[in-house]
Amino acid sequence: MLKICILGSGSMGTALAHLIGNNGHKVVIWSIDKDVSEHINIHHENKKFLPGVSLSKNVSANLILPLALADASVVIVALPTQAVNQVLHALRNHLADNTAIVSVSKGIDVKSGQTVSQIIKSVLPQARNKNIAALMGPLFATEISAKVPSVGLLATADIKVFKFLQKILVNKHFFVRYSDDLIGAELGGALKNIYAILLGVCDGLGYGWNTKSALMTAVVKEMAEVGQYLGGKKETFYGLAGMGDLLTTGFGDKSRNRRFGEKLCSGKSVQEAIKEIGHVVEGAATVKAVIKMLGAFKKQAPLLSAVNDIVSKRKNPCMVLQKLFSVI
């Protein structure tokens, strides 16, 4: 039995705790929410973020970061991307040298323009670089916890790290595929959140399958081009971490980013839409970072620009989408 520390008590962190705990490992969820932590420890349930899922007795929660991290063989980063830098600085003196670090956070830091693995590399000693991985792909937390067959992309530079993590994660309901394209996998997870907002706008405006299918086709093409431009392998964006993840996020009713785009079409402000959803909408922050990155290189991305116009500049969604029809 290994000890796994999960940073973040949201739906994905809790779903992975449920998965790994049932696989026979000890899991400690680090949470900043006292009520969530207490409910997990007393009732074995995260009523706030993953209600109805009974957690294994192998799973507990702790409010104190050093205690949660102590003796952990693996640390899973399941935090909002914009909080990762601060937390990593707080934990960097509490990790064993051989601890593997896995990111499941899908976004880009607005201030630095870095993915989570890049933040990890900038904060932690260089010797840890080989132990960094990212778990991406079409993975809804509620479906993982319901034991719906799911396949994720586990990206890391070292195949030995993949095989070690594979033994911890995989069971008859959950599977992982290998990729050495860590940056590409993370970019796929970040970019699909932005594009899912646009697909949600399409739904919010009441357009049909003709429109959404044409938009989806254009999105996949642009996402692969932008992802390659930012350092990923183009083929990664046609796989689980790109198109696969986009399909769940752009079409699924459970998708926060898609619902966010849909709500913006009803006249709600960004803040009102996020409040109604009740969870972090990563794409709303990530689009600003990506536009900034692309602007520095004068790279054109009309679909990303459209999302930025709707989210950041509050332009009329109908008018913005109408202009896109001439380029998709």
What residue numbers does the annotated binding site for NAD(+) cover?
8-13, 141, 256
Instruction: Count the alpha carbons within 13 Å of 186 in the hemisphere toward its beta carbon.
Output: 29
Cβ contacts of residue 120 below 8 Å, gap of 6+?
Answer: 77, 88, 101, 103, 128, 132
Is residue 313 flagged as an active site residue? no
Helix (H, G, I), strand (E, B) or coil at 247: helix
Phi-psi domain of 194 (left: phi exceeds 0; alpha: psi -120 through 50; beta: other): alpha
* Annotation: binding site for sn-glycerol 3-phosphate: 106, 137, 192, 245, 255-257
CB 317 within 8 A of CB 264: yes
Catalytic residue among 26, 192, 233, 263: 192
* Annotation: binding site: 8-13, 106, 137, 141, 192, 245, 255-257, 280, 282
CB 252 within 8 A of CB 258: yes
To the nearest 10 degrees (0 to 180), the angle between helices 282-296 and 302-311 is 130
Both tokens of 50, joined, read 């993953």
Query: Tokens 């991307």 sit at which residue?
Result: 81
What amino acid positions are annotated as catalytic residues?
Answer: 192
